[in-house]
Structure 1
């Protein structure tokens, strides 16, 4: 639900804007408001889960998300829809860190945990990529409000299944929430995400973009200073300095940069350069989706034999080969020639997701599992926003869409190669005993 609501709205927004007479700013906030709140409050959601119990916070997040989705579906005005989307993003920020922490709690055996992380990753990959196709189907058949209504039965089932099958999580009420640090994270991530979104629309030299990036750096520095002296830090600096933890988070940022940059630039290219409809564009991107579930589950099964490092490295190299192949295919390559590169990028990204997730979660003490999950997913959100922003800028400033797309794919391939190099240094070589 959480990941689907990032991408499914893209094809519905033009119709929503017409139905609700939304301004251009209102249309932008329908899409970006959710992403900003989700990215900004992930660390807060993780900290709350560690303090109050991850199952409790996860279930509260599901309730908030589901009710907000209903409010989105029945919103009478654009302003009401934007407000509901902001609340929906808050619910999502409570769900995501708790989901990984609950997997960590429910599957203590490393082999079973790797399988579960693989399934988690496959769901995320499928949801991210199938969103435009599903959104196109819903908008053209039953209407845009069903983009949000489909969350109601899923959210209800999720809540009931969690309450029935997931054990209560330990609470650590003695750990006080470091609100100054949490505020610094919210401000830093929200400003960074907003600046990256605007860079894709305006330019990287725009004063508002530069100011947002500078203030995001200042807020991040304030977070580090605060954590150095805090009695109860959100995530101890000793953990953040861990090569395994920081390297795993950086790998997540890089592969989200490559994958979401590819999906975004390819979507614009297919629609504006080749004249595909929104539905046809979703279908054209489907090869990138088709391999994600298989790849994540396969890597979860293989990790018990090989460890995580070979899987992350090979996945990143395969994804880099895919995007490099697309860049080399030429501006007017036949669609059939692009299927293999898309499949390689989708498979490689999902193949590496399981190992990088397990690496980050294993590097954190159990009492900080929620915060570790939040850190990993925050860096992934930043990677996605950066990939989309850079891809949009390259398409807007290039002489034609084909040239901009080839440069974007080449940059994505370089990001994947960098992630492979990091994995060689940061991901443990052997499986846990």
Structure 2
């Protein structure tokens, strides 16, 4: 059979779901009959989704492709502020499972035609009556379109139990709405030639169901005394790295602090100027300009006022200091501590880092949070009062620093990253040629 659609019909169906997700931004999405997870692999990039679930009765088919849903290396190196959990289950969509209740969106793409008519009734009861999602997208072949396919005899796939006309699909959908409190709009993908569109309709007909009353109605229904049932088998579960994880937030923040503190130290060494001019120059070098300069000046004034009561004098900003070994230890490339009675170091106040570096301030939220988050980090050396980052006065060397960074990456668990497969196999025999 020669291809008739561009893009391919199964891609148009998936794009329909993706467009719906972009418009409505559901947080919890489940794809029933997820097969080889091709739709899920596209939806995982839409980070408004916090929980993405796939269900299929064929566990072997799911296992074959499920590792393509694993986080990529960039997800670990640059964790998102958004949360994402992916779960895959083996089970029949005619059976109840409490873990799938209360989702924002349920998709059933070219699935119901694989069920017997008796199972379609159970499908309706489970999806609309028990799971009670806010929205449901159901697509199924439109049998009125079939005569336009040359050499097609019978159904489009050998496993199809039926293929509905538009009237039959509409009759089923309206009964679902009446029984379970939904409204539906009809559309589709895969257009016929212009002169036959009205006569045959779309190749794949789609019903988009919306619960009457939306989320508020569900919240009342979910408080019933229905017994929790867990009939599905969990095959895969993965939490994507996120800044909501406090350990990940600390690692990312420490990396940013050390990076910017080192840039400030290098710039200070290069400039060899007074502290006020130096602070302004550093801000200018990173594109912050007058705003950062004013923040640094204000902090200078505050710190200088504190000098009389024993506060650290900001006039020592970026000045080399001698620190006793109880306060500061340097680590060699093999991880062995080296100490001597005194070390020369450069003090970089946290207030300057927080004022001059937007990402540091965004990650920490406040100067006190910044200090607290860095307090127990083994890679960040703070002054005795916790107000500044201490760096070795002399450069440690690029090679040694890279070794240390690499070690930190391994310790954090980021070194083991599965690569996502980019291959997508056709969903079904007929679609492969359409």
Q: TM-score range by the shorter chain?
A: under 0.3
The structure with more helix, counted as a fraction of residues: 1
Q: Say which one has the larger Rg.
A: 2
Normalized against structure 2, the TM-score is what? 0.23
Which of the pair has the greater relative contact order for Cα pairs under 8 Å at 6+ separation? 1
Normalized against structure 1, the TM-score is what? 0.23
